[in-house]
Amino acid sequence: MVAHAGFVVRDALVLRRKIRVVCVGAVFTVPEERSKGLASHVLREVLAHARPGADLVMISGDRGLYRRLGMDPVPPLALFRLPDTVSATENLDIREISAVDLKAMAALYDAEDVHFIRPPDDWTRLWTAGRLVDGPAKFWLVERAGLVVAYLLVQHAGPRPDGSSRPRRILEFAGARDAIVQAAPAVAEELLLPAYDTATVALCEGKGWHRSTRQFSVTAEALTMDVTVIPWYGLNYV
C-alpha cells in the first residue's frame, strides 16, 4: 500500500433529524511516493463512493487538498480554562468508567440533541482503546444519589509536536449540565464544547471561567439543505 484514505459512515440525530455522515481520516501517502497525486486520487475515489446518499462529509485535517475538494473548516469550539482549585462536588460521586457502565453512558449520549447513532460495538471499542482522537484518555462517570447523571471523556496531558504541553481536556460529555460543570475541574484543566450549547456555556461563564476559542483541524462539506440549517458541527465521533 502506498496511499490510503479511510472512512466510516454513521447516521446521526441532530435536533431529532436523522442525517448520514461520512467521516474520513488517515489520508496519507508513503514518503517515497509523495508528490505524485496518489492521495488526491484515493481521496477523490472515496468521496465519489461515499457522497451519494450522505448529508455531511467530515475529514480529519485541514489542508489545501481538502479545500479544493469542497471542504470548509468546522466552526470553532468554546474553550474554558478550568480552575486549579477544585470546589466541593456536593452530592456527586465521580469514578472511572468500567465495562458495566457502557449502557448507562450510551443512554446519556443518546439523549443529547446532537449525537451519532453509535452501535454497542462502538462503545466497547472506544472504552477498550482508552483513547480520544490522538491520545490516551480516562473516562469518568458522575453519579448523584446513586443515579448516573453524566459522563466526561478526558484526554490525558502530554507533549505536542511543537514541544508545548497539552493539558487534560474534556473532549466529550453527556448528561446533566450542572453535574458536568461541577465535576469538570476535578478531572481536567480545560473543557471544550460546541458554541451552540448555550446552556453549558452560560453555566461556565457564570462560574467566571476564562473563555477562548479552539479551532480543531477538521473540515466538512454539507451536502443537503437540512444540514446547512442545523448545528451539525457539534458532532464529535471519537
Q: Tens digit of pLDDT for each residue in 124-138?
A: 999 999 998 888 999
User: Rounded to 5 degrees, what are φ and ψ at 106?
Assistant: -60, -40
pLDDT (0 to 100) of residue 231:
75
pLDDT of amino acid 238: 44
* Contact present, 94 and 108 (Cβ < 8 Å): no
β-pair type (210-214, 77-81): antiparallel
Report the distance separating Cα 133 and Cα 221, nearest Å. 20
Does the pLDDT of residue 169 top 90, yes or no? yes
pLDDT category of residue 236 using cuts at 50, 70 and 90: low
**Overall average pLDDT of the 88-110 stretch:** 93
Domains of the chain: 3-75+216-234 (3.40.630.30), 77-214 (3.40.630.30)
Q: Give the position of cell 481536567.
A: 188
Kind and range of the H or E run holding 105: helix 102-110
Tell me what pLDDT residue 158 has.
Answer: 84
| DSSP secondary structure of 160-201 | -TTS-EEPPEEEEEEE-HHHHHHHHHHH-SEEEEETT-HHHH
Q: For residue 84, what pLDDT is reported?
A: 87
Tell which wins on pLDDT, 151 or 157: 151
Rounded Cα–Cα distance for residues 93 and 89 (Å): 8
Please give the grid coordinates belonging to residue 230.
442545523
DSSP string, 152-170: EEEEPPEE-TTS-EEPPEE
pLDDT digit string, tens, across residues 23-75: 999 999 999 999 999 999 999 999 999 999 999 999 999 999 999 999 999 88
Q: SS3 of 229, please? A: coil
118 vs 30, 94, 124, CA distance in Å?
Answer: 32, 24, 10
Across the chain, mean pLDDT equals: 92
3-state secondary structure of 33: helix
pLDDT reported for residue 237 = 61
Distances (CA, A) of 205 to 96, 138, 180, 190, 208: 27, 25, 14, 14, 5
